[in-house]
Structure 1
Amino acid sequence: MPTVAVDKQDLFDLLGRNYTHKEFDELCFDFGIELDEDTTDDVAGTDERPEYKIEIAANRYDMLCIEGIAQALNEYLGNTDTPKYTLKPAEPEISLTIDQSTEEIRPYACSAILRNVKFNQRNYDSFIALQDKLHTNICRQRTLVAIGTHDLDTIKPPFFYKALAPEKIKFAPLNQTEVMDGNRLMEFYENDKNLGRYLHIIRDSPVYPVVLDSNGTVCSLPPIINGNHSKISLNTKNVFIEVTATDKTKAEVVINQIVAMFSRYCDDKFSIEPVKIISEHNGQTRVCPNIKPRNMPAEKDYINSCLALDLSTDEIRKLLKKMSLPAKGSTTDGNIINVSVPITRPDILHQCDVMEDCAISYGYNNLKKTSPKTVATTAHPLPINKVSDILRTASAQAGWLEVMPLTLCSHKENFENLKAVDDNTKAVKLENPKTVEYQVVRTTLVPGILKTIKENKRHSLPIKVFEAGDIVLKDDSLERKARNQRNWCAAYAGKVSGFELIQGLLGKVMQTFRTPWLEDPTTGEHGFWLVESDDKKMYFPGRGAKIMLRAKKGKESVEIGHIGVLHPEVVTNFEIPFAVSTVEINSEIFL
């Protein structure tokens, strides 16, 4: 979790009183943050001012500076209300136009203006430090989001965000006098301890992102450095803030935190001048920042059941107010509390977050110890785990070895290697995979088993393995948009395909579940049978089949899996020099 260093006396001044070390430590603990270090003794006898180093929750971006910490603690203590942010003027007079060329590198941008800011050395340093903390935290070392701040009086709107060839970008970087193009800049900062670690983000791209004013003056080359022409100082009165990103949501969170924390230093407190973002090529034209609070409905019964309390709507509302979450009861449902989530609280994503803040506000130490209101608390295995154990036992008794491959695999292994097409309706994909080996959550157990055979191909033949594990499939009907499904899969690898053996194992498993083989499915009897099918392209033509099941006599039949001899191309894709047969079924059908 991030640690924020704040001036001790400045924080006390903002809180309206001085605290002993013990008092402030307890306040932090009650609020859910941690006082990590007090440097009072370390700086005694020097000119340095004592600091508190406070550990903040990683998702509380609003508390990455002294202003945010003081605001949150003051609201918790009841010293102040949640700020009411306003856009002035209501309609933007300045625009930032995003060119389609940015789609190639960093396609999103946000912007805002702070007018008539009064900087002193302390709040100026805090302004810079907040940007550094955001870059380290939510911005992921500038790979997702990069922030640029400029003296608006030195540049001329409207502004433009484009992607240009490196040699076409010429400007003097921050604190430099030499005018450089993009290529020279990369050479210049190659060994810089601070900026050198960001060069890789855009270095290999044919175009670099750049923010320009109406005169063509370079404001910044995100995510590397701002231009020296528009650098801010203690004398800056009007601040132009631009944020470029590969993730629009994170960009908006970042711009909101900056304007929320430092609009307090404007002559017109908590007022923000909006900027019109013109992005016609992708339909993202809008006014930025969006300071309208989000509505988050939370159930009173849910909060009380989690906390073992019996709080009224008014009591919950008062508790949430202390956590920067204004709320009021629903006029149509007495069990619903409508929580108004301000721009400073992007961490509130679900009613469980509201419940947690209620607990913090109420005080964890004040919660009474109670026994669960249930008849029994004895744990039992899930029914699907019992089914899996039966499958494992039956397979092992037949002489097959269980394997446990990883749940993540590459996109190629899950689709191309199996001669399947990704229609974007099944696979859950990782947004930022660490390696190409872990790009998707598997939608079938076959790739993992084949990779296991590949790594053990020097073992004696035949290789007979199985797995009973989860796959994950997209499901828009669920809140999480995906669901787990327990499958069972087996594979036989040898000099011959061994299809009759893999079919025999399927028969053994079905027999264990008292599901007979049906010679004639038209009788309507309970049982299973195979239907030849070439739907699965991973099987050799004419050597693949669907597994059909009728759970009860007279019921409709359903497809529960597939069986067949793998196509030579599939086997080659996994570097297996043997013939392979596989079978896979959805084991949840036996619940």
Structure 2
Amino acid sequence: MPTIAVPRDALFEALGKTYTDEEFDELCFDFGIELDEVTSEKEMLIREMGEEKAEANDQKASEQVIYKIDIPANRYDLLCMEGLVRGLLVFLRKIEAPVYKAVLPSRPHRLLVKPATAQVRPFVVAAILRNIAFTQASYNSFIDLQDKLHQNIGRKRSLVAIGTHDLDTLKGPFTYEALPPEQIKFVPLNQTREFTAVELMDLYSKDSHIRHYLHIIQDKPVYPVIYDKNRVVLSMPPIINGDHSKISLSTRNVLIECTATDLKKAKIVLDTLVTMFSEYCETPYTAECVEVVRADGMVEKYPELRYRNEVVTVCDINRGVGINEGAESIAKLLTKMCLRSQVIEGGKSIKIEIPPTRADVLHGCDIMEDVAIAYGFNNITMTLPKTSCVAKQLPVNKLSDQLREGVAQAGFTEALTFALCSRDDVSVRLRKELATIPAVHISNPKTLEFQVARTTLLPGVTKDDIGQQEHAPPDEAV
């Protein structure tokens, strides 16, 4: 589950009420999220940098109380302070869920897609936040949400990469191209001189943050790049933005572009950014459309901010959740979860409006889950199942247990080892080349001990023996 860190006092001010830690913990539980930790900026800095370095940077951190809150991985609308506050206020019935609008101006900006982008990163969507007013807190939240979306739905930028730009420093129309790396040259973010794309790959190979994304395009024959009318580089996704169009607290018009290998996820990311931060625009909850001209000439307008309707019967909801509520009551519960609902068919069904912020709602089961959250899991009456079932052991399990017992009585020792092991376990320690081992590799292993699925029992057995030898007394060591 992703975790967001929000200042407690700012959160309470936005909610219009002060809570104790226990009260806020209960509110989070009722809303389907979890207060993971109560800490401070100073404590967080010590964890990240160590005590000595933190003391040297002590003036940068304060004793301000920070709430670290666990958010469900599919609730992208709660990954920032703005979305969390909005969701809680609607849940507490203090405000109604806002209506988001995409406005198409008489002369919209255009983003032209070149055919060569299909070789590396084929999709792009864009939108504009007009007359936005940033504060330091909202600016930091804007940047932080982008990072959360990169790591979460964007799968570390491999599926979706976000670029945000000061529109007033650029001139449309824009073009999304793919060129050989030696032909791309620009001043990257927070640098003072121009680099070619080849030089950038070398520069950022030692960067603790950006180096993790280089592999996405490094071996491609062409790199994606976005230009404005004057051939000013906006970004080279998914690596780095250009310094020319970087946003700041004084930025008034923000151009958001999302390049992707998955168009659906790009739309979700764009809608999430727009809906979360359009509240700071001169006309709240409104975004300006950008026309994206595809390589085949088709013109599409983004953001879509599409609303759709789902119909679920009252009977199905009550049976699925385990409650017995009327249609009006269920409609009110769903409205608390930012899902505007109305009773239809004489109280037999409910029509639910799914907003662009709720990309997690895919079908009726997701709607039932929101009913259960709003109703309160602790308020659902525990009942015995109406169907009586007699459990018994599967024949194959019964046979294996009998064989295991007989083999053990014959003097053999059973080996119970992990299904995962390290790459060295199946190659180096067995004196084999890893390339010749038909092992299934884990793409993002959490530890060095669990990198591949074992191809033989031998590594696990010998490793256990080695571990016992290492911890044996000296006079018993082999």
TM-score range, shorter chain: 0.7 to 0.9
Inter-partner Cα distance in structure 2 for 1:79 and 1:17:
11
Q: Which residue of structure 2 lines up, in the alignment, with residue 8 of structure 1?
A: 8
Q: Aligned pair 1:357/2:366, yes or no?
A: no
SS in 1 for 2:312: strand
Higher helix share: 2
Q: Structure 2 stretches of 5 or more lacking a match? A: 44-57, 401-436, 442-454, 458-478
Q: 2:340 aligns with which of 317, 326, 336?
A: 326
Q: Which residue of structure 1 lines up, in the alignment, with residue 110 of structure 2?
A: 95
Q: Aligned pair 1:51/2:66, yes or no?
A: yes
Q: Which residue of structure 2 lines up, in the alignment, with residue 198 of structure 1?
A: 213
Quote how far apart the aligned CAs of 1:299 are.
2.5
Quote how far apart the aligned CAs of 1:42 are.
6.4
Check conservation: 1:117, 1:267, Cα contact below 8 A: yes
Residues 309-342 of structure 1: CA distance to partner in whole angstroms, max 9, x if unpaired? 22122111100000111112334x8533221111
Check conservation: 2:123, 2:260, Cα contact below 8 A: yes
Inter-partner Cα distance in structure 1 for 2:110 and 2:41:
50
What's the TM-score once normalised by structure 1's chain length? 0.63
Q: Aligned pair 1:307/2:321, yes or no?
A: yes
Check conservation: 1:92, 1:275, Cα contact below 8 A: no
Q: Which residue of structure 2 lines up, in the alignment, with residue 291 of structure 1?
A: 305
Inter-partner Cα distance in structure 1 for 2:337 and 2:357:
11
Between Structure 1 and Structure 2, how many residues are aligned? 394
Residues 467-494 of structure 1: CA distance to partner in whole angstroms, max 9, x if unpaired? xxxxxxxxxxxxxxxxxxxxxxxxxxxx
What's the TM-score once normalised by structure 2's chain length? 0.77
Q: Which residue of structure 2 lines up, in the alignment, with residue 337 of structure 1?
A: 350
Quote how far apart the aligned CAs of 1:120 are.
0.9
SS in 2 for 1:176: coil
Quote how far apart the aligned CAs of 1:296 are.
2.1
Inter-partner Cα distance in structure 2 for 1:245 and 1:307:
37
Check conservation: 1:25, 1:34, Cα contact below 8 A: yes
Inter-partner Cα distance in structure 2 for 1:234 and 1:319:
39
Q: Which residue of structure 2 lines up, in the alignment, with residue 542 of structure 1?
A: none
Check conservation: 2:121, 2:259, Cα contact below 8 A: yes
Change (3 A) 1:103 1:49: same
| RMSD, aligned α-carbons | 2.8
Quote how far apart the aligned CAs of 1:14 are.
1.1
Change (3 A) 1:324 1:380: farther
Q: Which residue of structure 2 lines up, in the alignment, with residue 263 of structure 1?
A: 278
Quote how far apart the aligned CAs of 1:280 are.
4.2
Inter-partner Cα distance in structure 1 for 2:77 and 2:163:
18
Inter-partner Cα distance in structure 1 for 2:26 and 2:315:
30
Residue type at the aligned position of 1:378: V
Inter-partner Cα distance in structure 1 for 2:34 and 2:69:
6
Inter-partner Cα distance in structure 2 for 1:65 and 1:14:
13
Inter-partner Cα distance in structure 2 for 1:437 and 1:314:
56
Check conservation: 2:184, 2:197, Cα contact below 8 A: yes
Higher strand share: 1
Check conservation: 2:40, 2:63, Cα contact below 8 A: no
Change (3 A) 1:24 1:91: farther
Q: Which residue of structure 1 lines up, in the alignment, with residue 409 of structure 2?
A: none
Q: Which residue of structure 2 lines up, in the alignment, with residue 184 of structure 1?
A: 199
Q: Which residue of structure 2 lines up, in the alignment, with residue 170 of structure 1?
A: 185
Q: Which residue of structure 1 lines up, in the alignment, with residue 151 of structure 2?
A: 136
Inter-partner Cα distance in structure 2 for 1:158 and 1:336:
48
Q: 1:348 aligns with which of 361, 369, 372?
A: 361
Residue type at the aligned position of 2:367: V
Check conservation: 1:299, 1:351, Cα contact below 8 A: no
Runs (4+) off by over 6 Å: 41-46, 435-439
Inter-partner Cα distance in structure 1 for 2:220 and 2:85:
42
Residue type at the aligned position of 2:26: E
Quote how far apart the aligned CAs of 1:161 are.
0.6
Inter-partner Cα distance in structure 2 for 1:196 and 1:10:
34
Residues 287-317 of structure 1: CA distance to partner in whole angstroms, max 9, x if unpaired? 1111121222222211101222221221111
SS in 1 for 2:199: helix
Q: Which residue of structure 2 lines up, in the alignment, with residue 149 of structure 1?
A: 164
Inter-partner Cα distance in structure 1 for 2:88 and 2:9:
15
Quote how far apart the aligned CAs of 1:284 are.
6.0
Quote how far apart the aligned CAs of 1:455 are.
9.2
Q: Which residue of structure 1 lines up, in the alignment, with residue 423 of structure 2?
A: none
Inter-partner Cα distance in structure 1 for 2:273 and 2:192:
29
- Greater Rg by CA: 1
Q: 1:377 aligns with which of 389, 393, 397?
A: 389
Q: Which residue of structure 1 lines up, in the alignment, with residue 31 of structure 2?
A: 31
Inter-partner Cα distance in structure 2 for 1:74 and 1:217:
42
Inter-partner Cα distance in structure 2 for 1:4 and 1:51:
10
Q: 1:79 aligns with which of 86, 89, 94?
A: 94
